[in-house]
Amino acid sequence: MELIERYIYAVTQKIRQEQREDIAKELRGLIEDMLEERVGSRDISDKDVEEVLLELGTPRKLADKYRGAKKYLIGPELFDSYLIVLKIVLVTVASILGVIFVVQTILDPVLILDHFVDLIVSTVTGIPMAFAWTTFGFALPEYLGAYKMKDIQIDAEWSPADLAPIPDEKRQIKRGESIAGIIFYAVFIVILAFSSDYFGVWVFNDGFSGVVPFLNERTYGMYLLFILLIFGFGIIKECLKLVSGKWTYKLAGYTLILNAISMAVILLMVNGPTFWNPDFMNELAQAGVVTAGSEGYEVGQKIWEQSTFWIFVLLVIGLIWDAVDGFIRARKK
Amino acid sequence: MSDENEHLDKLMQELRRGTITIGVLSQLSNPQYGYSLVTMLAEKGIQVEPGTLYPLLRRLEKQGLLDSKWDTNEARPRKYYLLSETGKSVYDLLVVEWKSIVESLNHVIENKGDDENGAD
């Protein structure tokens, strides 16, 4: 009986969400009818179940029939996840651009017209870019996946015993986590890409008078690319999780590869020209936040040096843990 | 030899695809659930796999040719399908078309020799 549930699960997983429950119910009825006709009054054996499932054909083929023809850039298997991710990305990008506009206007009300032009420009360039990259990110695996299946002919040899068990609770990936992750990465990308000037300590002397940036403005252009790469990988990772729905060795492997590349990039950043603003404390002193040579200045200096170092360390630890965690969860039956 | 069979299989599959729809519509003046329809059609010499019929029923329903209703009174919940008003008229039109196809094809097949003679 377990086999029947696995079969139904395998079929309905590949079908659009709204139809799943109904098709599952109908399919269950059908299988029971077919079993009943096959065995008559004697007890149903596992062999009977297998034969009935074989008669119905592979879950993939049956699901294909339910879905109709396969002509699409992003198929029904991925489409739900695609829509979710697309909505998240667009809403995040749009709202961040809005927030940036509001903040800029509050800080610099005189230049509202300039800020507004900025807003329009970044909306016109940012939104289609977000749309295009998200679509591309989903179309690529769809294309590769379809291509691979035609090549390997998985369906040629199939037996119901091949059906994957329904994943354990602990292996399942909650949609909410992935969505939160994607929003987090997207927010950082947009903030860093469009308004790094505001990423620092805000100085108020009779109103807003400037920002002491955290980052080194001279090397920032180069590092922006690295940062986008790391956070972009983060988004890809979350998308993979969202699509997979459960931890597998394959997913953990992808996570490991992406995290390893991110780590390599971080090490490059640590060893390369200064990433953080080298004059941070001096500029703070000049802005009048602290007095040079005072005790507060020393403490600030220490905190600044330590925290900039530890941020990298924590990032690396986080990446390692993320990869290890994936494998641990994938191991759970 | 197996090559011929392969061709035949493929062509028959295509041929059946359309005729099954007519067969299904013809039996649904009274409500039926999927498996009863499989048995019914089989008795009348029309072999259709459940894996083909069930998605087909759903597609026809989505197109508006069939109405459906779950019957949960029996031990096993079953989804019953029935011709909709549109389905009825489409079926009548389809039968006319089908008859004309049969007639034309019969004509083509039966008169094959005659035409060849005539061309000589």
| Chain A residues close to B34, C-beta within 8 Å | 26, 29-30
- B113 pLDDT band, cuts 50/70/90, is low
Is pLDDT above 50 for A149?
A: no
Instruction: Tell me the two tokens of residue A98.
Output: 């809005």
Q: Are B33 and B81 in contact (CB under 8 A)?
A: yes
Q: What's the gap in Å between the CA of A313 and the closest CA on chain B?
A: 55
A61–B79 C-beta distance less than 8 A: no
Q: What's the gap in Å between the CA of A33 and the closest CA on chain B?
A: 7
- The ipTM of this complex is 0.79
- Contact of A324 with chain B, judged by CB distance below 8 Å, is answered with no
Is pLDDT above 80 for A265?
A: yes
Given A25, A29, A62, which is nearest B51 (Cβ)?
A: A62
| Contacts of A105-114 spanning 24+ positions with Cβ under 8 A | A106/A208, A107/A208, A108/A208
- Which CATH number fits the domain that encloses residue B103? 1.10.10.10
B79–A30 C-beta distance less than 8 A: no
- Contact of B54 with chain A, judged by CB distance below 8 Å, is answered with yes
| Chain A residues close to B74, C-beta within 8 Å | none
Nearest residue of chain B to residue A22 (CA atoms) = B79
Is pLDDT above 60 for A154?
A: no
Q: Which tens digit of pLDDT belongs to each residue from B54-75?
A: 999 998 998 899 999 998 887 8
Q: Which residue has the higher pLDDT, A77 or A182?
A: A182
Which residues form the domain of B69? 2-119
Computed on alpha carbons and rounded to an integer, the radius of gyration of chain A in Å comes to 27
Q: What's the gap in Å between the CA of B70 and the closest CA on chain A?
A: 9
Q: How far are the Cα atoms of A196, A272, A275, A282, A311 from residue A219, in angstroms, in the given order?
A: 12, 10, 6, 18, 18
- Contact of B113 with chain A, judged by CB distance below 8 Å, is answered with no
- Contact of B58 with chain A, judged by CB distance below 8 Å, is answered with yes
Segment A269-279 mean pLDDT: 78
Q: Output b/e per residue, B28-44; b: 16+ Cβ within 10 A.
A: beebbbbbebbeebeee
Q: Are A175 and A242 in contact (CB under 8 A)?
A: yes
- Contact of B35 with chain A, judged by CB distance below 8 Å, is answered with yes
Work out how many domains chain B is built from and give that number.
1
- A311 pLDDT band, cuts 50/70/90, is confident
Nearest residue of chain B to residue A61 (CA atoms) = B51
Q: Which tens digit of pLDDT belongs to each residue from B5-21?
A: 889 988 888 888 888 99
- Contact of A22 with chain B, judged by CB distance below 8 Å, is answered with yes
B51–A65 C-beta distance less than 8 A: yes
Could you tell me how many CB contacts below 8 A there are between chain A and chain B?
Answer: 46
Instruction: Name residue, tokens 């023809």.
Output: A69
**Domain segments of chain A: what residues?**
1-69
Select the residue from B54, B60, B63, B73 to test the A interface by mutation, using most A Cβ atoms within 10 A.
Answer: B54
- Contact of B59 with chain A, judged by CB distance below 8 Å, is answered with yes
Q: Which residue has the higher pLDDT, A183 or A34?
A: A34
Q: What's the gap in Å between the CA of A248 and the closest CA on chain B?
A: 30
3-state helix, strand, coil in chain A (%, to 5): 75, 5, 20
Which pLDDT value is given to residue A121? Answer: 92
A241: number of Cβ within 10 Å = 23
